[in-house]
Amino acid sequence: MCVCHCLQEKERPHTLPGEEGLYVPTTMEEGNSTGEDYSRLRQPHHSKGSNDDSAFFEGPDIFNEPASSTNEIYQQLSSWKAREIIRKYITLHHRIGSGHFATVCRGVWQRPGGEQEVAVKELKSGAVEEDRVKFLQEAAIMSQFNHTNVVKLHGIVTIDEPLLIVMELMPNGDLKNYLDRFTANRRSPRQRRSPGSTPPPSPGSLLPITPSLPHQLLSFCRQVADGMEYLAQKRFVHRDLATRNIFLTKDFTCKIGDFGLARDLGGDDLYQSTGGKIPVKWTAPEALQYRHFTSASDAWSYGMVLFEIWSLGHRPFDACSIEKDVMELIGSNVCQPPPPGCPREMYKLMTLCWNNKASNRPSFSHICEYLNQSDSKLLKLPAELPSTLSPQATQLGASLAEGKGLYSDLQYGYEESIV
């Protein structure tokens, strides 16, 4: 059942000139702010007087960590000219996601040029101060990014309650769910839905595997690498790069998202450490053992994203359901076999990303350079297979077991280089 509620007057007037040109105020009196504050924000000090997106989000060239208190975060957002969206111009429709302290709804933003569909993250009623800080920290992180392959922040609603983060809408959902639509009908019940995962696609939404699919998958790989290269150049470490945190626009452009410092994680993919929850199957050894997160640990995770993409949605180390088994397997230097149908050059890139020594992994600039090779080279499959392999070893969507002996020289070479 869809839930719809409006955050504006019943008879909504057209947006007044300059009303989109408001900056987040520098200080807030929690619980006492009212819509009357908008008249103060229309003064020149607070208002750009422009509806042009380029008038906002003049953040630092190098990523700045969000502050640890609400007042300090408001100061950061104001100094970076983050847009304060007037509450009455946001309408919320049905819910599309929910977490521990926030929900995400599909919505509409009434702009001078017309309505724009958006995604709106709303802080839940009764959220404690710690959650409020984490919510604003996510907005402060997103306000510093501007790239085709990173989810765009449109603005924030900080006056009155509840707090809202207004982002671009991703109509095609996350990449994980999209990939599942190719292979969900071939999986066991346990594979189809693990704790904390989204429900499997309905039979009517399943997609056929066509000859053009490898080209689309390669495009996804390149787009994610481009977005991660941008974030690395900003010196931002994502820490949770996975297909569930990559989103698809209407035209299937990939956008990296989920920048919350405290994520709602659950299920058998996680390891509970003293510092919080870690997505074990995507996390580099040094991050698992010492919580040492860098761009190099993101590169390790990118290798796991490549595995997810070419396996059409299978999780890394899919046969392991216990976190201890996953950690032991990672520590044993055993290389995951390629997914069936994965081109040799793409599997080679995976093994480079999975080097146990962080300094030996490729940077995202090097990854992008690697992926600049022609489609014909990157998508080339072996002309002949060893007699021990079935033809399904080169078929996308086949059982993962079919890929075990594929590119064995790369698998053994990986293990020897680690030893």
pLDDT by residue, tens only, the chain of 419 residues? 444 444 443 333 334 444 556 888 876 434 444 555 555 555 444 555 455 677 789 889 999 999 999 999 999 999 999 999 999 999 999 999 888 889 999 999 999 889 999 999 999 999 999 999 999 999 999 999 999 999 999 999 999 999 999 999 999 999 999 999 997 545 544 444 443 445 555 545 789 999 999 999 999 999 999 999 999 999 999 999 999 999 999 999 999 998 874 343 334 444 444 445 778 899 999 998 888 999 999 999 999 999 999 999 999 988 777 667 777 777 777 789 999 999 999 999 999 999 989 999 999 999 999 999 999 999 999 999 999 999 999 999 999 999 999 999 998 776 666 54
Identify the pLDDT of residue 134: 94
Q: Is 91 helix (H, G, I), strand (E, B) or coil?
A: strand
> Looking at residue 27, what is its pLDDT?
63
37 is catalytic: no
Q: What is the pLDDT of residue 72?
A: 96
Could you give the domains of the chain? 5-168 (3.30.200.20), 175-418 (1.10.510.10)
In this predicted structure, what is the pLDDT of residue 270? Answer: 44
**251-266 core/surface letters (b: 16 or more CB in 10 A; e: else):** eeebbbbbbbebbebe
The reported pLDDT for the residue numbered 335 is 82
Q: How far apart are CA 106 and CA 398, in angstroms?
A: 35
Beta strand pairing status for 102-111 and 90-98? antiparallel
Binding site residue list for ATP = 121
pLDDT at 6: 47
> Of residues 174, 226, 240, 298, which has the active-site annotation?
240
Residues at the annotated binding site?
121
The neighbouring-strand residues paired with 97 are: 104
